[in-house]
Amino acid sequence: MARVLLFGRLADQAGWRDRGFEATSLAVLRGLIANDDPDLGEALSGPGVQVAVDKALVRGEATLDDATEVAFLPPMSGG
Amino acid sequence: MITLTSEPFEPGALLTDFCAGREETGAVASFVGIARAEKGQAAALELEAYPGFTDTAIGDFAEAAKARFGLHDYRIVHRTGRIAPGEAIVFVAAAAGHRREAFEACDFLMDWLKSRAPFWKKEHGPDGARWIEPTDRDRTDAQRWDQES
């Protein structure tokens, strides 16, 4: 089960910030989320949204194992 | 050392601790960022961090600053969560052999923290809450160092 974390406006939009999904890859995960909430699915692929797998930024596709943490990061504001 | 904290902190105490026992340092420069009330427009600021990601990113950048300016040491404390006007948001201190390096390292660290550090900022005001992105000024301040390097 991959643990999915949402930050900033993405968490507000989704109404959750931490959820588990059974997904073997990032693509499968995006599909599951979009199926559940199409607007959120679109927002996760929106401009400036970065993805971190186990706290490291990834570009494109990634395989997910059990206990993998996937974070969707909207544009960062600075402190 | 880098600390993220959801509790208010006292900048003076941090500076006293940071300066203690430095016989060879010569210069410590520090900066404190404080939440503004914006004449009643900002009831509170809310800062979200990603623990384990945000602090690592700040640590990596601080190590780069240490190498660039030849710092002896640095201390960064950053608030997260809900911050009331008048409370400190960030404390940065840099220790170096001479003042120029200490001043510049503080400036460099703050420009990056304000524009590129992985935080998500929400402002709570009389008309509700809104997410904030870096201002043009924050971006151009940070770019000064890109051009110089």
Q: Rounded to two decimals, what is the model's pTM? A: 0.90
In chain A, where are the structural domains located? 2-73
Contact A77 B89 (CB under 8 A): no
Q: How close, in Å, is residue A9 to chain B by CA atoms?
A: 7
The per-residue pLDDT for range A2-56, each reduced to its tens digit, is: 999 999 999 999 999 999 999 999 999 999 999 999 999 999 999 889 999 999 9
Q: Looking at residue B148, what is its pLDDT?
A: 66
Q: How close, in Å, is residue A1 to chain B by CA atoms?
A: 20
Contact B115 A78 (CB under 8 A): yes
Query: Phi, psi at residue B56, to the nearest 5°?
Result: -65, -45
* CA distance linking residue A4 with residue A18, whole number of Å: 6
Contacts of B33 in chain A (CB under 8 A): 79
Among B48, B56, B134, select the one facing A78 at the smallest CB separation: B134
Q: Does A79 touch chain B (CB under 8 A)?
A: yes
Which of A12, A53, A77 should we substitute to test contact with B (largest number of B Cβ atoms within 10 Å)?
Answer: A77
Rounded mean pLDDT, A51-75? 92
Contacts of B45 in chain A (CB under 8 A): none
Contact B50 A52 (CB under 8 A): yes
The segments of chain B whose pLDDT lies below 70 read 148-149
The per-residue pLDDT for range B33-76, each reduced to its tens digit, is: 999 988 878 789 999 999 999 999 999 999 999 999 999 999 99
Tally of domains in chain B: 1
Taking only Cα atoms into account, the Rg of chain B, rounded to an integer number of angstroms, comes to 16
Contacts of B90 in chain A (CB under 8 A): 79
Q: What domain range is B131 assigned to?
A: 2-148
Among A7, A52, A77, select the one facing B132 at the smallest CB separation: A77
Give the domain CATH number at B123. 3.90.1170.40
**Across-strand partners of B75?**
B93
**Cβ B27 vs Cβ B74: under 8 Å:** no
Contacts of B47 in chain A (CB under 8 A): 79
Other beta carbons within 10 Å of A17:
14
Query: For the structural domain made of A2-73, what CATH number should be given?
Result: 3.10.20.30
